[in-house]
Structure 1
Amino acid sequence: MSAHIANGRLVVWITLFVAMMFQIMPLPQIVEVWRPDWLVLVMIYWAMALPHRYSVLTAWILGVMLDILLGATLGIRALALSLVIYFVVMHSQRFRNFPRWQQSILVASLICGYHMIIYWLQYVVVGGAEFDIALFLPAISSVFIWWWLFWSLRNIRRSYKVR
């Protein structure tokens, strides 16, 4: 393995680590409901850019880590993130050719699906989960973050020659 390939992998894992930290960072209660799903957004980008390298297994591992860090039922976010990333990987060639505004709509629908899977699993497994319209607020904020995040991660990928 050459050093530049190893550096590229390190850069990706650093971005995923930073996304994980943004995901668990405490915020005021008013802003908390609007928190974008940073880990899902970054994982969607890397699954779209490099689907052969960062896909379902990576999503599963990061989902389990997120469940542990949030103190949630183990495996719920892992399964939801894996299903979303599986869909992205299967259609990554098509998604890469979409204009940014269509990608934003796609990202919003994927994040809505992610939250619906989490809600459904909590309702079935844990029981007593109540549906709230605030479940979809992170999808709205993620639409606006996607433009900036895509541009930033693409520049990082190009400057560090991540392949």
Structure 2
Amino acid sequence: MPRRPRERPMTTSWFAIILTSIAALALTLLPLPATMQLHNPQWLLLTIIFWSLYRPAQAGMIYAWIAGLMLDVATNGLLGLNALLFTMTAFLVLSLRQRLGVAPLLSQALLIAGFTLVYLMVALWVEGVATDLVSMATYLSRALSNLAAWPVVFFLLSRLARISER
């Protein structure tokens, strides 16, 4: 009986995950004019959602927490806020992973916009308690920009994941 070739599990190199996270952090921190900053997607959040959805063994809630702390330190924001919110979002993605992973891209984008709204509402609540500067239009435009950016992020990161598996 001929031996079957050993099946290799679908793993993405840590290098690809770290590289995309650093690139997403750089895109998030990119200085833009104020009008464009309102519509800048949350690249790091979208990257966390992608890796949590498609590579949960390698990039789960601990990955989300570390990425959130990196963003908190880089933006000099409320320390732990993004770590908490990214971890919460990763938990939502991981709990709905079976349904979300097989959904069409448009349905995924709508669900991710919903995750973004939950993320932003909790951020609004925490920042409203901590500070006075809150703009609802900013938060809603971010959810819409994440909705529009998800297909691009999905396409680029899925290609990178396939390349790094070779």
Q: Give TM-score, length-normalised by structure 2.
A: 0.89
2:128 is aligned to: 123
The separation in 2 between residues aligned to 1:141 and 1:130, in whole angstroms, is: 18
Residue in structure 1 matched with residue 140 of structure 2 by the alignment: 136
Q: Aligned residue pairs: how many? A: 157
CA drift at 1:105: 0.2
Number of the residue aligned with 2:7: none
Equivalent position of 2:158 in the other structure: 154
Identity of aligned residues (%): 25
Deviations 1:6-57 (A, max 9, x none): 9711111100110010011100111010010000001100000011221111
Is 1:15 aligned to 2:15, yes or no?
no
Q: Distance in 2 between matches of 1:23 and 1:104?
A: 19
The superposition leaves residues 104-153 of structure 1 with CA deviations (integer Å, 9 ceiling, x where unpaired) of: 101111111111111111123x1434342221101111111111110111
Match among 36, 53, 56 for residue 51 of structure 1? 56
> Of residues 44, 47, 63 in structure 2, which corresponds to 1:42?
47
CA deviations on 1:78-107 (whole Å, 9 max, x unpaired) are 111110111101111211000000001011
Match of residue 80 from structure 1: 85
Structure 2, unaligned runs of 5 or more: 1-9
Q: TM-score, normalised by structure 1?
A: 0.90
Question: Which of 1 and 2 has greater Rg?
Answer: 2
Q: Distance in 1 between matches of 2:54 and 2:134?
A: 36
- 2:144, 2:54 → 1: CA distance? 23
Relative contact order, higher structure (CA 8 A, sep 6+) = 1
